[in-house]
């Protein structure tokens, strides 16, 4: 028996080495695009300026641009990419649906509704930035609750309906329904509230205050730590709920952990950056195909890095290097994500496999 075990070891080592190499390349790409994201923009900055800005305090104009605008924006892109991709991965495994993601299932819309309720329903006082600390937390918590409510609704429906496409259509209906509710709320709200809300909906990666960035980074970090606790659960859930329970999974606990995690991740990003589509669906699939595995011990860290890379690339494209114009980042992510989604649909027609 022992010799048989040893015979398989070289193959295992080769696969593991392959995976380490992919991790290394992804990580280098992450650093490269992070620096590139800071370097490129309407004012050109040399990479050397970045290092100088960090090590010698010169109070130059370039230093202001780096610390006040470029660095926060790059950090926001990184956090948003990580959060959306990770929540997408968790949803896809939890719902056993390759098309799941915070945007398509209406979870981002749920977060928007939470924000709309706070801004339009209660007071314009909670407009981002107006209440330096508390306001941001109220905003983000309401987004979590909105996202969590939609998650629970989808979970309930998934237990009744097995068909992937039906769930997807329901997600789209939910998103439409929520935007209708928000429209009605806008109709009845006063001018200040409306203005505050419209500004929020146009939110992008670059409009976060220092306080907001701090809240975003904190919550995304919390979500990442929680996602590590979900790794083993997600692996079991690949087998479907029946088998997962039969190998010893505590289904209720795992749902609570994964729900909390995705709601925090998707909710926080939506609260500060507005709805950003397709990253959540696309990145987990890119990661699965890169690593050729279904093991979440690799997929979770892989998705974290790949999500950061894809979002940084989207941000670089959105600021149209060399011009003063900035595209909405949501349209860039859609253009990147939609081909991936189409590919999944076409592949699903051929294959029986769901991931």
Partner 1 sequence: MEKNETKILILDNLSIGYAKGKHSAELLPPLSTSSNGSELIAVIGRNGIGKSTLLRTIAGLQPSLGGEVILNGKNISEYSRIVLARKIGYISTEVIKVNNMRVSDLVALGRFPHTNWLGTIDNSGRLAIENAIARAGLTSLRARNISELSDGERQKAMIARVLAQDAELMIMDEPTAFLDIASKYEIISLMRELTRDGKTIIFSTHDFNIAVNQADKIWLILENNLIEGAPEDLMLSGAFEHLFESSIVQFSSGDGNFSFLRESRGSIFVRGEGLIRKWTERALIREGYQLSSSITNPYIHITDDTDQKWLLTSDDKTESFNSIYELIRVLQK
* Site residues for partner 1 per CB under 8 A: 1, 4-5, 8, 11, 228-229, 231-232, 235-236, 238-240, 242-243, 245-250, 288-289, 292-295, 297, 351-355
CB of 18 to partner 1, least distance (A): 13
What DSSP designation does 323 have?
A: S
If the CB atoms of residues 130 and 246 are measured against partner 1, the closer one turns out to be 246
Enumerate residues 6+ apart whose C-beta is below 8 A from 113: 146, 178, 181, 182
If the CB atoms of residues 133 and 232 are measured against partner 1, the closer one turns out to be 232
Q: How far apart are CA 355 and CA 347, in angstroms?
A: 10
CB of 100 to partner 1, least distance (A): 14
SS3 track for 135-159: HHHHHHHHHHHHHHHHHHHHHHHHH
CB of 91 to partner 1, least distance (A): 16
User: Torsions phi, psi of 247, nearest 5?
Assistant: -95, 10
CB of 179 to partner 1, least distance (A): 33
CB of 251 to partner 1, least distance (A): 9
If the CB atoms of residues 230 and 319 are measured against partner 1, the closer one turns out to be 230
Q: How far apart are CA 339 and CA 310, in angstroms?
A: 14
Spatial contact of 37 and 316, defined as CB atoms under 8 Å apart: yes
If the CB atoms of residues 192 and 351 are measured against partner 1, the closer one turns out to be 351
If the CB atoms of residues 207 and 254 are measured against partner 1, the closer one turns out to be 254
Residue linked to tokens 């945007």: 103
Q: How far apart are CA 29 and CA 50, in angstroms?
A: 18
Q: How far apart are CA 355 and CA 341, in angstroms?
A: 12
If the CB atoms of residues 70 and 288 are measured against partner 1, the closer one turns out to be 288
Q: Please count the CA atoms within 13 angstroms of the CA of 316 that sit on its side-chain side.
A: 17
CB of 107 to partner 1, least distance (A): 23
Spatial contact of 298 and 291, defined as CB atoms under 8 Å apart: yes
If the CB atoms of residues 28 and 165 are measured against partner 1, the closer one turns out to be 165
Spatial contact of 20 and 300, defined as CB atoms under 8 Å apart: no
Region label for 278, one of left (φ > 0), alpha (ψ between -120 and 50) or beta (otherwise): left
CB of 13 to partner 1, least distance (A): 13
């Amino acid at each position: 028996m022992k010799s048989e075990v040893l015979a398989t070891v070289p193959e295992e080592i080769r696969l593991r080495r392959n995976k380490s190499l992919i991790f290394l390349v992804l990580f280098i790409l992450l650093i490269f695009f992070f620096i590139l994201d800071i370097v490129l923009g309407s004012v050109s900055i040399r990479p050397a300026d970045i290092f100088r800005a960090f090590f010698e305090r010169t109070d130059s104009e370039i230093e202001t641009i780096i610390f006040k605008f470029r660095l926060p924006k790059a950090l926001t892109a990184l956090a948003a990419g990580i959060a959306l991709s990770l929540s997408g991965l968790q949803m896809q495994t939890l719902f056993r649906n390759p098309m799941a993601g915070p945007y398509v299932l209406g979870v981002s819309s749920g977060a928007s509704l939470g924000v709309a309720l706070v801004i339009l329903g209660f007071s314009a006082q909670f407009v981002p930035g107006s209440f330096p600390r508390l306001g941001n937390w109220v905003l983000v918590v309401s987004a979590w609750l909105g996202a969590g409510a939609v998650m629970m609704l989808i979970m309930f429906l998934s237990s009744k309906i097995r068909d992937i496409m039906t769930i997807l259509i329901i997600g789209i209906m939910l998103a439409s329904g929520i935007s209708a509710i928000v429209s009605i709320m806008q109709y009845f709200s006063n001018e200040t509230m409306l203005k505050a809300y419209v500004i929020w909906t146009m939110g992008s990666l670059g409009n976060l205050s220092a306080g907001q960035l701090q809240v975003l980074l904190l919550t995304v970090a919390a979500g990442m730590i929680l996602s590590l606790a979900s790794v083993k659960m997600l692996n079991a859930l690949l087998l479907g709920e029946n088998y997962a329970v039969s190998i010893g999974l505590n289904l209720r606990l795992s749902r609570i952990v994964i729900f909390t995690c995705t709601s925090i991740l998707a909710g926080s990003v939506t609260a500060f950056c507005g709805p950003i589509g397709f990253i959540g669906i696309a990145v987990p699939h890119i990661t699965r195909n890169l690593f050729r595995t279904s093991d979440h011990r690799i997929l979770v860290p892989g998705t974290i890095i790949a999500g950061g890379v894809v979002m940084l690339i989207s941000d670089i494209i959105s600021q149209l290097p060399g011009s003063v114009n900035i595209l909405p980042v949501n349209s860039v992510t859609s253009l990147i994500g939609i081909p991936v989604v189409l590919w999944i649909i076409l592949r699903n027609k051929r294959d029986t496999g769901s991931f």
